[in-house]
Structure 1
Amino acid sequence: MPKFLRIGVHWSNVSGYTSKAWCVRRVGPVIFLKWGAVEVHGTGAGRKVYWTRLPQEKTIRCGTVQRAQDYAKAAIARRRNHRYEPLTGPIANRRRSAGGSAEPKQALATILIVDIVGSTAKAAKLGDARWTKIMGHYYAAVRKELKTSRGKEVVTTGDGVLATFKAPAAGVSCATAIREAVRTLGLDVRVGLHAGEYTVSGGEMVGLAFHIGTRVAAKARAGEVLVSSAVKDLMKTQSTFSFRDHGVHQLKGVPERWRLYRVEG
Protein backbone atom coordinates (compact mmCIF):
# COMPACT_ATOMS: atom_id res chain seq x y z
CA MET A 1 0.00 0.00 0.00
CA PRO A 2 1.59 3.35 -0.97
CA LYS A 3 1.73 5.60 2.07
CA PHE A 4 2.25 9.34 2.22
CA LEU A 5 3.09 11.59 5.14
CA ARG A 6 2.50 15.33 4.99
CA ILE A 7 5.37 17.03 6.76
CA GLY A 8 4.35 20.62 5.96
CA VAL A 9 7.12 23.00 6.96
CA HIS A 10 9.02 20.24 8.78
CA TRP A 11 11.47 19.59 5.99
CA SER A 12 13.73 17.63 8.32
CA ASN A 13 12.21 14.65 10.09
CA VAL A 14 12.13 16.19 13.52
CA SER A 15 11.13 13.64 16.14
CA GLY A 16 7.87 14.08 18.01
CA TYR A 17 5.76 16.21 15.66
CA THR A 18 2.19 15.62 14.57
CA SER A 19 1.28 15.49 10.91
CA LYS A 20 -1.13 13.72 8.57
CA ALA A 21 -0.87 10.55 6.49
CA TRP A 22 -2.74 9.18 3.49
CA CYS A 23 -2.74 5.53 2.47
CA VAL A 24 -3.90 4.39 -0.96
CA ARG A 25 -4.40 0.71 -1.84
CA ARG A 26 -5.93 -0.94 -4.92
CA VAL A 27 -7.39 -4.44 -5.07
CA GLY A 28 -8.69 -5.11 -8.56
CA PRO A 29 -11.35 -2.48 -9.35
CA VAL A 30 -11.63 -1.35 -5.69
CA ILE A 31 -9.69 1.48 -4.02
CA PHE A 32 -9.18 1.58 -0.26
CA LEU A 33 -8.30 4.96 1.26
CA LYS A 34 -7.19 5.59 4.82
CA TRP A 35 -6.15 8.92 6.28
CA GLY A 36 -5.73 10.73 9.58
CA ALA A 37 -3.38 12.37 12.05
CA VAL A 38 -0.12 10.61 12.81
CA GLU A 39 2.72 11.09 15.27
CA VAL A 40 6.29 10.83 14.02
CA HIS A 41 9.15 9.62 16.22
CA GLY A 42 12.77 9.16 15.30
CA THR A 43 14.58 10.10 12.11
CA GLY A 44 15.96 8.42 9.02
CA ALA A 45 15.76 4.63 8.88
CA GLY A 46 14.72 4.55 12.55
CA ARG A 47 11.69 6.78 12.06
CA LYS A 48 8.41 5.34 13.36
CA VAL A 49 4.95 6.62 12.48
CA TYR A 50 1.88 5.99 14.66
CA TRP A 51 -1.80 6.81 14.17
CA THR A 52 -2.69 9.34 16.88
CA ARG A 53 -6.34 8.26 16.67
CA LEU A 54 -8.44 5.90 14.60
CA PRO A 55 -7.98 6.92 10.95
CA GLN A 56 -10.84 7.65 8.58
CA GLU A 57 -11.44 5.05 5.85
CA LYS A 58 -13.25 5.03 2.53
CA THR A 59 -13.87 2.32 -0.08
CA ILE A 60 -14.35 3.34 -3.72
CA ARG A 61 -15.64 0.82 -6.25
CA CYS A 62 -14.46 1.98 -9.67
CA GLY A 63 -16.14 -0.72 -11.78
CA THR A 64 -13.09 -1.67 -13.81
CA VAL A 65 -9.43 -2.31 -13.04
CA GLN A 66 -8.35 0.44 -15.46
CA ARG A 67 -10.53 3.04 -13.74
CA ALA A 68 -9.17 1.94 -10.38
CA GLN A 69 -5.58 2.22 -11.64
CA ASP A 70 -6.29 5.71 -13.00
CA TYR A 71 -7.93 6.74 -9.72
CA ALA A 72 -4.99 5.48 -7.66
CA LYS A 73 -2.46 7.28 -9.87
CA ALA A 74 -4.42 10.54 -9.63
CA ALA A 75 -4.79 10.21 -5.85
CA ILE A 76 -1.06 9.64 -5.43
CA ALA A 77 -0.26 12.60 -7.72
CA ARG A 78 -2.53 14.88 -5.67
CA ARG A 79 -0.84 13.84 -2.45
CA ARG A 80 2.59 14.65 -3.87
CA ASN A 81 1.36 18.04 -5.12
CA HIS A 82 0.19 18.84 -1.60
CA ARG A 83 3.63 18.32 -0.07
CA TYR A 84 3.21 14.73 0.99
CA GLU A 85 6.30 12.55 1.00
CA PRO A 86 6.24 8.77 0.35
CA LEU A 87 6.51 6.57 3.42
CA THR A 88 8.10 3.15 3.65
CA GLY A 89 6.96 0.62 6.20
CA PRO A 90 3.66 0.36 8.05
CA ILE A 91 1.88 2.94 10.17
CA ALA A 92 1.53 1.36 13.60
CA ASN A 93 -1.34 1.68 16.03
CA ARG A 94 -0.95 3.88 19.08
CA ARG A 95 2.01 2.93 21.22
CA ARG A 96 1.43 1.41 24.63
CA SER A 97 3.18 2.94 27.60
CA ALA A 98 5.90 0.90 29.25
CA GLY A 99 3.79 0.47 32.36
CA GLY A 100 0.75 -0.88 30.53
CA SER A 101 -2.52 0.98 30.11
CA ALA A 102 -2.26 4.24 31.99
CA GLU A 103 -5.25 5.74 33.74
CA PRO A 104 -6.94 8.59 31.83
CA LYS A 105 -5.83 12.02 33.00
CA GLN A 106 -7.81 15.24 33.12
CA ALA A 107 -6.24 18.42 31.78
CA LEU A 108 -7.32 22.03 31.32
CA ALA A 109 -6.47 24.10 28.26
CA THR A 110 -7.60 26.89 26.01
CA ILE A 111 -8.58 25.38 22.67
CA LEU A 112 -8.18 27.30 19.42
CA ILE A 113 -9.87 26.40 16.12
CA VAL A 114 -8.83 28.17 12.90
CA ASP A 115 -10.69 27.69 9.62
CA ILE A 116 -10.34 29.37 6.21
CA VAL A 117 -13.50 31.09 4.98
CA GLY A 118 -14.58 30.19 1.44
CA SER A 119 -11.64 27.88 0.81
CA THR A 120 -13.43 25.72 -1.78
CA ALA A 121 -14.35 28.70 -3.95
CA LYS A 122 -10.84 30.14 -3.70
CA ALA A 123 -9.25 26.80 -4.61
CA ALA A 124 -11.52 26.48 -7.67
CA LYS A 125 -10.69 30.02 -8.78
CA LEU A 126 -6.93 29.75 -8.33
CA GLY A 127 -6.36 26.19 -9.52
CA ASP A 128 -4.58 23.32 -7.79
CA ALA A 129 -0.98 24.46 -8.28
CA ARG A 130 -1.46 28.02 -7.01
CA TRP A 131 -3.77 26.95 -4.20
CA THR A 132 -1.28 24.34 -3.02
CA LYS A 133 1.41 27.01 -2.82
CA ILE A 134 -0.86 29.35 -0.85
CA MET A 135 -1.81 26.56 1.54
CA GLY A 136 1.85 25.87 2.19
CA HIS A 137 2.34 29.52 3.14
CA TYR A 138 -0.85 29.42 5.21
CA TYR A 139 0.27 26.48 7.36
CA ALA A 140 3.73 28.02 7.71
CA ALA A 141 2.20 31.29 8.96
CA VAL A 142 -0.14 29.51 11.40
CA ARG A 143 2.65 27.36 12.82
CA LYS A 144 4.96 30.35 13.17
CA GLU A 145 2.36 32.13 15.34
CA LEU A 146 1.70 28.95 17.33
CA LYS A 147 5.40 28.65 18.08
CA THR A 148 5.63 32.32 19.10
CA SER A 149 2.65 31.95 21.46
CA ARG A 150 3.75 28.52 22.73
CA GLY A 151 0.67 26.82 21.37
CA LYS A 152 0.54 23.10 20.67
CA GLU A 153 -0.83 21.93 17.34
CA VAL A 154 -3.14 18.97 17.90
CA VAL A 155 -4.38 18.19 14.40
CA THR A 156 -5.12 19.73 11.02
CA THR A 157 -8.56 19.19 9.51
CA GLY A 158 -8.73 20.05 5.82
CA ASP A 159 -7.81 23.73 5.86
CA GLY A 160 -8.35 24.08 9.60
CA VAL A 161 -6.04 23.82 12.58
CA LEU A 162 -6.80 22.80 16.17
CA ALA A 163 -4.31 23.87 18.84
CA THR A 164 -4.17 24.17 22.63
CA PHE A 165 -2.66 26.74 25.00
CA LYS A 166 -1.92 26.70 28.70
CA ALA A 167 -3.03 30.33 29.09
CA PRO A 168 -6.15 31.88 27.50
CA ALA A 169 -4.34 35.17 26.83
CA ALA A 170 -1.76 33.34 24.74
CA GLY A 171 -4.53 31.70 22.72
CA VAL A 172 -6.33 34.98 22.02
CA SER A 173 -3.08 36.72 21.13
CA CYS A 174 -2.19 33.90 18.74
CA ALA A 175 -5.66 34.00 17.15
CA THR A 176 -5.42 37.70 16.29
CA ALA A 177 -1.86 37.28 15.03
CA ILE A 178 -2.91 34.42 12.73
CA ARG A 179 -5.81 36.48 11.39
CA GLU A 180 -3.50 39.34 10.41
CA ALA A 181 -0.73 37.07 9.07
CA VAL A 182 -2.94 35.16 6.63
CA ARG A 183 -4.58 38.33 5.29
CA THR A 184 -1.32 39.01 3.47
CA LEU A 185 -2.04 35.78 1.55
CA GLY A 186 -5.48 37.01 0.54
CA LEU A 187 -7.18 34.68 3.03
CA ASP A 188 -9.80 35.32 5.67
CA VAL A 189 -10.17 33.00 8.63
CA ARG A 190 -12.74 32.45 11.33
CA VAL A 191 -11.39 31.61 14.76
CA GLY A 192 -13.04 30.21 17.86
CA LEU A 193 -11.62 29.71 21.36
CA HIS A 194 -12.97 27.82 24.34
CA ALA A 195 -11.42 26.86 27.68
CA GLY A 196 -12.28 23.61 29.36
CA GLU A 197 -11.23 20.23 30.59
CA TYR A 198 -10.42 17.30 28.37
CA THR A 199 -9.20 13.77 28.92
CA VAL A 200 -5.81 12.41 27.89
CA SER A 201 -6.10 8.67 27.36
CA GLY A 202 -3.31 6.71 25.70
CA GLY A 203 -1.89 9.94 24.31
CA GLU A 204 -5.18 10.96 22.67
CA MET A 205 -7.04 14.11 23.74
CA VAL A 206 -10.83 13.81 23.83
CA GLY A 207 -13.68 15.72 25.42
CA LEU A 208 -16.67 17.99 24.94
CA ALA A 209 -14.39 21.05 25.15
CA PHE A 210 -13.04 20.33 21.67
CA HIS A 211 -16.56 20.13 20.24
CA ILE A 212 -17.54 23.42 21.89
CA GLY A 213 -14.45 25.12 20.44
CA THR A 214 -15.37 23.89 16.96
CA ARG A 215 -18.95 25.17 17.31
CA VAL A 216 -17.73 28.56 18.57
CA ALA A 217 -15.53 28.90 15.47
CA ALA A 218 -18.49 27.99 13.25
CA LYS A 219 -20.39 31.00 14.62
CA ALA A 220 -17.64 33.42 13.55
CA ARG A 221 -17.77 35.37 10.32
CA ALA A 222 -14.82 36.12 8.06
CA GLY A 223 -12.08 37.86 10.04
CA GLU A 224 -13.78 37.34 13.40
CA VAL A 225 -12.27 35.86 16.53
CA LEU A 226 -14.96 34.59 18.91
CA VAL A 227 -14.43 33.27 22.42
CA SER A 228 -16.76 31.45 24.78
CA SER A 229 -17.75 32.88 28.15
CA ALA A 230 -15.33 30.39 29.73
CA VAL A 231 -12.39 32.14 28.03
CA LYS A 232 -13.63 35.63 28.89
CA ASP A 233 -14.18 34.72 32.54
CA LEU A 234 -10.59 33.49 32.81
CA MET A 235 -9.36 36.81 31.41
CA LYS A 236 -11.23 39.17 33.75
CA THR A 237 -7.95 40.56 35.06
CA GLN A 238 -6.51 41.00 31.56
CA SER A 239 -6.66 44.55 30.19
CA THR A 240 -4.80 43.74 26.96
CA PHE A 241 -7.89 42.59 25.07
CA SER A 242 -11.33 44.09 24.55
CA PHE A 243 -14.41 41.90 24.12
CA ARG A 244 -17.83 42.76 22.69
CA ASP A 245 -20.91 40.74 23.60
CA HIS A 246 -21.92 38.56 20.63
CA GLY A 247 -25.09 37.21 22.18
CA VAL A 248 -26.28 33.86 23.50
CA HIS A 249 -26.10 30.97 21.05
CA GLN A 250 -27.22 27.38 20.84
CA LEU A 251 -24.18 25.43 19.68
CA LYS A 252 -25.04 22.45 17.51
CA GLY A 253 -24.88 19.21 19.45
CA VAL A 254 -23.76 20.98 22.65
CA PRO A 255 -25.90 21.07 25.82
CA GLU A 256 -27.22 24.43 27.04
CA ARG A 257 -26.76 27.82 25.40
CA TRP A 258 -23.47 29.70 25.43
CA ARG A 259 -22.72 33.41 25.51
CA LEU A 260 -20.04 34.33 23.00
CA TYR A 261 -17.79 37.39 22.74
CA ARG A 262 -15.99 38.97 19.79
CA VAL A 263 -12.36 40.02 20.27
CA GLU A 264 -12.10 43.69 19.31
CA GLY A 265 -9.10 45.19 17.54
Structure 2
Amino acid sequence: MVMPKFLRIGLHQSNVSGYTSKAWCVRRVGSMIFLKWGAVEVDGAGKGRKVYWSRTPQEKTVRCGSAERAQDYAKSAIARRRSHRYEPLSGSITNRPRSAASSPELKQALATILIVDIVGSTAKAAKLGDARWTKVMGHYYAAVRKELKSSRGKEVTTTGDGVLATFKAPAAGINCATAIQRAVRTLGLEIRVGLHAGEYTISGGEMVGLAFHIGTRVAAKARAGEVLVSSAVKDLMKTPSTIRFRDHGSHQLKGVPERWRLYRVEG
Protein backbone atom coordinates (compact mmCIF):
# COMPACT_ATOMS: atom_id res chain seq x y z
CA MET A 1 0.00 0.00 0.00
CA VAL A 2 1.30 3.45 -0.88
CA MET A 3 2.14 5.57 2.14
CA PRO A 4 0.65 9.10 1.80
CA LYS A 5 3.33 11.70 2.51
CA PHE A 6 3.09 15.34 3.55
CA LEU A 7 5.72 18.09 3.50
CA ARG A 8 5.50 21.00 5.95
CA ILE A 9 5.91 24.18 3.96
CA GLY A 10 4.63 27.06 6.11
CA LEU A 11 4.37 28.96 2.85
CA HIS A 12 4.14 27.91 -0.77
CA GLN A 13 7.64 26.74 -1.66
CA SER A 14 6.95 24.62 -4.75
CA ASN A 15 9.32 26.81 -6.77
CA VAL A 16 12.04 27.06 -4.10
CA SER A 17 15.05 24.79 -3.64
CA GLY A 18 17.54 24.20 -0.87
CA TYR A 19 15.64 24.49 2.41
CA THR A 20 14.99 22.35 5.46
CA SER A 21 11.56 21.30 6.64
CA LYS A 22 9.61 18.41 8.15
CA ALA A 23 7.79 15.49 6.57
CA TRP A 24 5.09 13.18 7.87
CA CYS A 25 3.80 9.88 6.47
CA VAL A 26 0.85 7.64 7.32
CA ARG A 27 -0.17 4.18 6.13
CA ARG A 28 -3.19 2.09 7.13
CA VAL A 29 -3.17 -1.68 6.97
CA GLY A 30 -6.42 -3.16 8.27
CA SER A 31 -6.84 -2.01 11.87
CA MET A 32 -3.24 -0.77 12.18
CA ILE A 33 -1.73 2.66 11.45
CA PHE A 34 1.95 3.11 10.65
CA LEU A 35 3.36 6.61 11.15
CA LYS A 36 6.73 8.03 10.16
CA TRP A 37 7.96 11.62 10.59
CA GLY A 38 11.14 13.67 10.82
CA ALA A 39 13.36 16.45 9.47
CA VAL A 40 14.00 16.60 5.74
CA GLU A 41 16.09 18.52 3.22
CA VAL A 42 14.50 19.69 -0.04
CA ASP A 43 16.49 19.98 -3.27
CA GLY A 44 15.19 21.14 -6.63
CA ALA A 45 11.75 22.50 -7.43
CA GLY A 46 8.56 21.45 -9.21
CA LYS A 47 8.58 17.96 -10.68
CA GLY A 48 12.34 17.77 -10.17
CA ARG A 49 12.06 18.25 -6.40
CA LYS A 50 13.78 15.63 -4.26
CA VAL A 51 13.25 15.21 -0.54
CA TYR A 52 15.81 13.53 1.74
CA TRP A 53 15.59 12.54 5.39
CA SER A 54 18.06 14.72 7.34
CA ARG A 55 18.35 11.98 9.95
CA THR A 56 16.68 8.66 10.72
CA PRO A 57 12.92 9.36 10.93
CA GLN A 58 10.83 8.43 13.95
CA GLU A 59 8.27 5.65 13.55
CA LYS A 60 5.18 4.59 15.47
CA THR A 61 2.56 1.86 15.15
CA VAL A 62 -1.00 2.47 16.37
CA ARG A 63 -3.37 -0.46 16.87
CA CYS A 64 -6.93 0.83 16.50
CA GLY A 65 -8.91 -2.37 17.10
CA SER A 66 -10.93 -2.21 13.87
CA ALA A 67 -10.45 -1.14 10.27
CA GLU A 68 -13.18 1.49 10.66
CA ARG A 69 -11.45 3.09 13.66
CA ALA A 70 -8.13 2.99 11.83
CA GLN A 71 -9.67 4.73 8.83
CA ASP A 72 -11.11 7.45 11.09
CA TYR A 73 -7.75 7.81 12.86
CA ALA A 74 -5.92 8.27 9.55
CA LYS A 75 -8.44 10.83 8.27
CA SER A 76 -8.21 12.81 11.49
CA ALA A 77 -4.41 12.69 11.56
CA ILE A 78 -4.17 13.87 7.94
CA ALA A 79 -6.64 16.72 8.60
CA ARG A 80 -4.52 17.88 11.55
CA ARG A 81 -1.36 17.96 9.47
CA ARG A 82 -3.08 19.81 6.63
CA SER A 83 -4.21 22.48 9.10
CA HIS A 84 -0.56 22.85 10.19
CA ARG A 85 0.61 23.82 6.70
CA TYR A 86 1.52 20.37 5.38
CA GLU A 87 0.94 19.74 1.69
CA PRO A 88 0.65 16.35 -0.04
CA LEU A 89 4.02 15.13 -1.29
CA SER A 90 4.38 12.87 -4.29
CA GLY A 91 7.44 10.75 -4.81
CA SER A 92 9.61 9.08 -2.23
CA ILE A 93 11.57 10.41 0.74
CA THR A 94 14.99 8.81 0.69
CA ASN A 95 18.20 8.92 2.68
CA ARG A 96 20.72 11.30 1.10
CA PRO A 97 23.39 9.26 -0.68
CA ARG A 98 26.75 9.53 1.04
CA SER A 99 29.78 10.66 -0.88
CA ALA A 100 32.53 8.09 -1.18
CA ALA A 101 34.89 10.64 0.29
CA SER A 102 32.67 11.42 3.26
CA SER A 103 33.94 10.39 6.66
CA PRO A 104 31.69 8.76 9.26
CA GLU A 105 33.81 10.37 11.99
CA LEU A 106 32.43 13.21 14.04
CA LYS A 107 33.55 16.70 13.10
CA GLN A 108 33.49 19.70 15.40
CA ALA A 109 33.01 23.31 14.39
CA LEU A 110 32.78 26.67 16.12
CA ALA A 111 30.13 29.13 15.00
CA THR A 112 27.92 32.00 16.03
CA ILE A 113 24.36 30.68 16.15
CA LEU A 114 21.41 32.95 15.37
CA ILE A 115 17.79 32.20 16.25
CA VAL A 116 15.01 34.39 14.85
CA ASP A 117 11.43 34.08 16.11
CA ILE A 118 8.29 36.07 15.24
CA VAL A 119 6.55 37.62 18.25
CA GLY A 120 2.79 37.06 18.46
CA SER A 121 2.60 35.02 15.26
CA THR A 122 -0.50 33.04 16.28
CA ALA A 123 -2.55 36.18 16.98
CA LYS A 124 -1.28 37.79 13.80
CA ALA A 125 -2.22 34.75 11.71
CA ALA A 126 -5.70 34.66 13.23
CA LYS A 127 -6.21 38.35 12.49
CA LEU A 128 -5.03 38.18 8.87
CA GLY A 129 -6.53 34.83 7.90
CA ASP A 130 -4.77 31.90 6.23
CA ALA A 131 -4.41 33.38 2.74
CA ARG A 132 -2.94 36.73 3.80
CA TRP A 133 -0.76 35.15 6.50
CA THR A 134 0.71 32.67 4.02
CA LYS A 135 1.59 35.58 1.74
CA VAL A 136 3.18 37.53 4.60
CA MET A 137 5.19 34.47 5.64
CA GLY A 138 6.41 34.07 2.07
CA HIS A 139 7.77 37.62 2.16
CA TYR A 140 9.16 37.01 5.65
CA TYR A 141 11.24 33.97 4.68
CA ALA A 142 12.37 35.70 1.49
CA ALA A 143 13.58 38.71 3.51
CA VAL A 144 15.37 36.52 6.08
CA ARG A 145 17.11 34.47 3.41
CA LYS A 146 18.15 37.57 1.50
CA GLU A 147 19.90 38.96 4.59
CA LEU A 148 21.45 35.56 5.38
CA LYS A 149 22.91 35.43 1.90
CA SER A 150 24.24 39.00 2.15
CA SER A 151 25.88 38.20 5.50
CA ARG A 152 27.17 34.78 4.40
CA GLY A 153 25.07 33.03 7.01
CA LYS A 154 24.10 29.38 6.65
CA GLU A 155 20.49 28.40 7.26
CA VAL A 156 20.32 25.27 9.40
CA THR A 157 16.58 24.82 9.77
CA THR A 158 13.24 26.56 10.06
CA THR A 159 11.28 26.10 13.28
CA GLY A 160 7.64 26.96 12.69
CA ASP A 161 7.89 30.69 12.08
CA GLY A 162 11.50 30.88 13.24
CA VAL A 163 14.86 30.41 11.56
CA LEU A 164 18.12 29.00 12.90
CA ALA A 165 21.36 29.92 11.12
CA THR A 166 25.12 29.91 11.73
CA PHE A 167 27.90 32.40 11.00
CA LYS A 168 31.67 32.16 11.06
CA ALA A 169 32.04 35.60 12.67
CA PRO A 170 29.91 37.04 15.51
CA ALA A 171 29.79 40.52 13.96
CA ALA A 172 28.29 39.08 10.78
CA GLY A 173 25.56 37.37 12.80
CA ILE A 174 24.71 40.52 14.76
CA ASN A 175 24.64 42.72 11.66
CA CYS A 176 22.42 40.16 9.93
CA ALA A 177 20.03 40.13 12.92
CA THR A 178 19.57 43.90 12.87
CA ALA A 179 19.14 43.86 9.06
CA ILE A 180 16.43 41.20 9.37
CA GLN A 181 14.68 43.32 12.01
CA ARG A 182 14.53 46.32 9.69
CA ALA A 183 13.37 44.21 6.74
CA VAL A 184 10.49 42.42 8.48
CA ARG A 185 9.14 45.58 10.13
CA THR A 186 7.97 46.64 6.67
CA LEU A 187 5.76 43.52 6.78
CA GLY A 188 4.22 44.58 10.10
CA LEU A 189 6.14 41.88 11.98
CA GLU A 190 8.19 42.10 15.16
CA ILE A 191 10.86 39.53 15.92
CA ARG A 192 13.03 38.50 18.83
CA VAL A 193 16.59 37.39 18.14
CA GLY A 194 19.15 35.49 20.19
CA LEU A 195 22.80 34.77 19.38
CA HIS A 196 25.28 32.43 21.04
CA ALA A 197 28.74 31.24 20.06
CA GLY A 198 29.94 27.73 20.72
CA GLU A 199 31.02 24.40 19.37
CA TYR A 200 28.67 21.97 17.72
CA THR A 201 29.18 18.52 16.26
CA ILE A 202 28.46 17.46 12.70
CA SER A 203 27.51 13.81 12.50
CA GLY A 204 26.12 12.35 9.29
CA GLY A 205 25.22 15.82 8.06
CA GLU A 206 23.29 16.65 11.25
CA MET A 207 24.32 19.51 13.54
CA VAL A 208 23.98 18.76 17.24
CA GLY A 209 25.25 20.31 20.46
CA LEU A 210 24.40 22.27 23.58
CA ALA A 211 25.27 25.53 21.78
CA PHE A 212 22.04 25.33 19.76
CA HIS A 213 19.95 24.90 22.92
CA ILE A 214 21.67 27.84 24.60
CA GLY A 215 21.02 30.02 21.55
CA THR A 216 17.34 29.10 21.64
CA ARG A 217 17.12 29.98 25.35
CA VAL A 218 18.86 33.33 24.74
CA ALA A 219 16.27 34.15 22.05
CA ALA A 220 13.46 33.24 24.45
CA LYS A 221 14.72 35.91 26.87
CA ALA A 222 14.45 38.63 24.22
CA ARG A 223 11.41 40.87 23.95
CA ALA A 224 9.84 42.13 20.73
CA GLY A 225 12.40 44.12 18.77
CA GLU A 226 15.36 42.99 20.89
CA VAL A 227 18.57 41.29 19.81
CA LEU A 228 20.22 39.54 22.76
CA VAL A 229 23.65 37.90 22.70
CA SER A 230 25.38 35.67 25.22
CA SER A 231 28.67 36.62 26.85
CA ALA A 232 30.35 34.10 24.54
CA VAL A 233 29.39 36.23 21.52
CA LYS A 234 30.49 39.49 23.15
CA ASP A 235 33.84 38.00 24.20
CA LEU A 236 34.59 36.96 20.62
CA MET A 237 33.99 40.43 19.23
CA LYS A 238 37.08 42.14 17.90
CA THR A 239 37.81 45.57 19.36
CA PRO A 240 37.26 48.27 18.40
CA SER A 241 33.80 47.57 17.01
CA THR A 242 30.92 49.77 15.87
CA ILE A 243 28.48 47.37 17.56
CA ARG A 244 27.40 48.56 21.01
CA PHE A 245 26.05 46.41 23.83
CA ARG A 246 24.10 47.08 27.01
CA ASP A 247 24.35 44.70 29.95
CA HIS A 248 21.08 42.73 30.25
CA GLY A 249 21.98 40.98 33.48
CA SER A 250 22.70 37.41 34.55
CA HIS A 251 20.08 34.81 33.63
CA GLN A 252 19.31 31.19 34.33
CA LEU A 253 18.53 29.60 30.96
CA LYS A 254 15.97 26.79 31.12
CA GLY A 255 17.64 23.40 31.03
CA VAL A 256 21.13 24.92 30.69
CA PRO A 257 23.82 24.57 33.40
CA GLU A 258 25.01 27.68 35.25
CA ARG A 259 23.87 31.27 34.76
CA TRP A 260 24.66 33.28 31.63
CA ARG A 261 25.24 37.01 31.27
CA LEU A 262 23.33 38.45 28.35
CA TYR A 263 23.77 41.69 26.44
CA ARG A 264 21.33 43.71 24.33
CA VAL A 265 22.54 45.04 21.01
CA GLU A 266 22.08 48.81 20.90
CA GLY A 267 21.26 50.92 17.83
Instruction: State the identity as a percent.
Output: 75
Unmatched segments (≥5 aa) in structure 1: none
Q: Show the counterpart of 1:199.
A: 201
Structure 1 residue identity aligned to 2:190: D
The CA deviation string for residues 51-100 of structure 1, in whole angstroms up to 9 with x for no partner, is 11344667887984664465356356546xx4x66433321235434257
Whether the 8 Å CA contact 2:231–2:263 is kept in 1: the answer is yes
Alignment length, in residue pairs? 260
Structure 2 residue identity aligned to 1:23: W
Give 1:234 deviation, angstroms.
Answer: 1.1
- From the superposition, tell whether residues 8 and 237 of structure 1 become closer, same or farther in structure 2 (CA, over 3 Å): farther
Determine whether 1:18 maps to 2:25.
no
Return the alpha-carbon distance in structure 2 between the equivalents of residues 122 and 164 of structure 1: 28
The CA deviation string for residues 170-197 of structure 1, in whole angstroms up to 9 with x for no partner, is 1000101111111111111110001111
Give 1:216 deviation, angstroms.
Answer: 0.5
Determine whether 1:168 maps to 2:173.
no
- From the superposition, tell whether residues 57 and 120 of structure 1 become closer, same or farther in structure 2 (CA, over 3 Å): farther
Q: Show the counterpart of 1:218.
A: 220
Return the alpha-carbon distance in structure 2 between the equivalents of residues 43 and 134 of structure 1: 21
Q: Show the counterpart of 1:110.
A: 112
Return the alpha-carbon distance in structure 2 between the equivalents of residues 43 and 187 of structure 1: 28
Give 1:130 deviation, angstroms.
Answer: 1.9
37-46 vs 141-150, which moves further: 37-46
Q: Show the counterpart of 2:132.
A: 130
232-241 vs 200-209, which moves further: 232-241
TM-score by length of 1: 0.84
Q: Show the counterpart of 1:121.
A: 123
36-45 vs 177-186, which moves further: 36-45
Could you say what the CA RMSD is over the residues aligned between the two structures, in angstroms? 2.9
Return the alpha-carbon distance in structure 2 between the equivalents of residues 192 and 174 of structure 1: 12
220-229 vs 23-32, which moves further: 23-32
134-143 vs 157-166, which moves further: 134-143
Return the alpha-carbon distance in structure 2 between the equivalents of residues 143 and 42 of structure 1: 17
- From the superposition, tell whether residues 46 and 190 of structure 1 become closer, same or farther in structure 2 (CA, over 3 Å): closer
Structure 2 residue identity aligned to 1:221: R
Structure 2 residue identity aligned to 1:210: F
* 1:1-265 → structure 2 map (5 Å cutoff): 1-5=3-7, 6=9, 12=15, 14=17, 17-27=18-28, 34-41=36-43, 48-55=50-57, 64=69, 67-68=72-73, 70-71=75-76, 74-75=79-80, 77-78=82-83, 82=85, 86-99=88-101, 102-265=104-267
Structure 2 residue identity aligned to 1:38: V
TM-score by length of 2: 0.84
- From the superposition, tell whether residues 157 and 59 of structure 1 become closer, same or farther in structure 2 (CA, over 3 Å): farther
What SS class does the counterpart of residue 94 from structure 2 fall into? coil
249-258 vs 127-136, which moves further: 127-136
What SS class does the counterpart of residue 98 from structure 1 fall into? coil
Whether the 8 Å CA contact 1:31–1:72 is kept in 2: the answer is no
Return the alpha-carbon distance in structure 1 between the equivalents of residues 208 and 133 of structure 2: 32
What SS class does the counterpart of residue 92 from structure 1 fall into? strand
Unmatched segments (≥5 aa) in structure 2: none
- From the superposition, tell whether residues 55 and 157 of structure 1 become closer, same or farther in structure 2 (CA, over 3 Å): farther
Give 1:123 deviation, angstroms.
Answer: 1.8
